[in-house]
Amino acid sequence: MNLLVCGVGGQGVLLFSRVVAHLALTMGLDVKMSEVHGMAQRGGSVTSHIRWGKIVYSPLIEEGTADIVVAFEQLEALRYIHFLAKTGKLFYDPLQIEPLPVQLGLVEGLSESAVNSRLSALGCYPVPAFKLACELGEPRIQNTVMLGAISHFLEFPISLYQEVLRSLIKSQHLEINLRALTAGRNIIRPKTKDGSPTSLG
C-alpha cells in the first residue's frame, strides 16, 4: 500500500503520516515512511511517503503507483497528481494557500475555483477538512479531520485510530483530535458497490 501525503509546511503533514505509519505498525506490518525536514519546512511544499505491506524496501513511492494521495491543499494536489496509480484515489482539501511568489505578485497564480474544477474533472475527491477544523474551533486539526475522512479507505479498524492518536498526541490536545477524527469520518460515506466515495458536504 502506497500513501502519499502532500501539503504546505506547517499544515501537520508529518503528524498525519506518523499516525498512518503507526496504524500499519500496530497491525504487525512492515512499514516505511520518509519525511522532509530543514529548509523545505519553512512554508514550502512538503511531502511524506508512507508504504506498508508484508515487506517494504524503498521508502519512496514511485510516480504512478500511489494507492492514495492525500493533499492538504489544492495546488499541492495538482503538483503531485502524477504519483497516483490508475486505480488510486486522490483526496484534497479544496482550500488554496497562495505560494508566496503569487501572493507578492511575482508569478501568475491559478484561481481556486479553476483548480477545483480541474481536480474534480480528474476524478479527485474534495474533503473540506480545513473548513471543518475551523468550525470545530481549531484550524490545526485539519490533519486529523482529513485522517478521519480517508479512514474509510484504509484497512485499519477505527478503534485502532483512537489507540494510536492516544499514543502520539499530548493529552491536552487528545480530545479535540478525537472529535476531529469522528467529524472527518462523517464527511465521506463510501458507496458499497464500487468503493468510490461521496462527499456529504
Partner 1 sequence: MSNIVQQLLSGNEAVARGAWEAGCQFAAAYPGTPSTEILESLATYPEVYCEWSVNEKVALEVALGAALAGVRSLAAMKHVGLNVAADPLFSSAYIGVRGGLVVVTADDPGLHSSQNEQDNRFYGLAAKIPVLCPSDSQEAKDWTRLGFEISEEFDIPVLLRLTTRVAHSRSVVKLPTADGRRPAADLGEFQKELPKMNLLPVFARVRHIDLERRLDKLQRYSETTPINRMEILETELGIICDGVAYQYAREVFPSASFLKLGMVYPFPRELVLKFAEKVKEIVVIEEVDPFIELQTRALGLKVRGKDVLPRTGELNPAIIRRVLGQENSEGDRRQAESPVEDVPNRPPALCPGCPHLGLFYSLQKQKAIIGGDIGCYTLGALPPHNAMDTCIDMGASITFAHGVDKALGDADPRPRVAIIGDSTFFHSGITGLINAVYNNSNVVVIIADNRTTGMTGHQDHPGTGKTLKGLETVKIDIAALCRACGVKECIRVDPYRLKETKRIIQKTLKEKKTAVIISERTCALVAKEKKPPKRIDPEKCIGCRACLSLGCPALSFSNGKALIIETRCNGCGMCGEICPKEAIG
Residues at the interface with partner 1 (CB under 8 A): 8-9, 18, 21-22, 25, 30-45, 56-60, 62-65, 75-76, 78-79, 81-88, 98-110, 122, 139
Are 198 and 189 in contact by the 8 Å Cβ rule? The answer is: yes
Nearer to partner 1, 83 or 185 (CB): 83
CB of 129 to partner 1, least distance (A): 14
Nearer to partner 1, 122 or 158 (CB): 122
The per-type count for the chain, helices as H runs and strands as E runs, is 8, 8
Nearer to partner 1, 52 or 185 (CB): 52
Displacement of CA 153 from its chain's centroid (Å): 12
Strand pairing class (45-53; 2-8): antiparallel
Nearer to partner 1, 22 or 185 (CB): 22
What is the spatial distance between Cα 19 and Cα 43, in angstroms, rounded to a whole number? Answer: 22
Nearer to partner 1, 102 or 174 (CB): 102
Between the alpha carbon of residue 134 and those of residues 118, 125, 142, 154, 176, the distances in Å are 25, 20, 8, 25, 12
- Beta strand spans in the chain (E): 2-8, 30-34, 45-53, 66-71, 84-92, 125-126, 188-190, 197-199
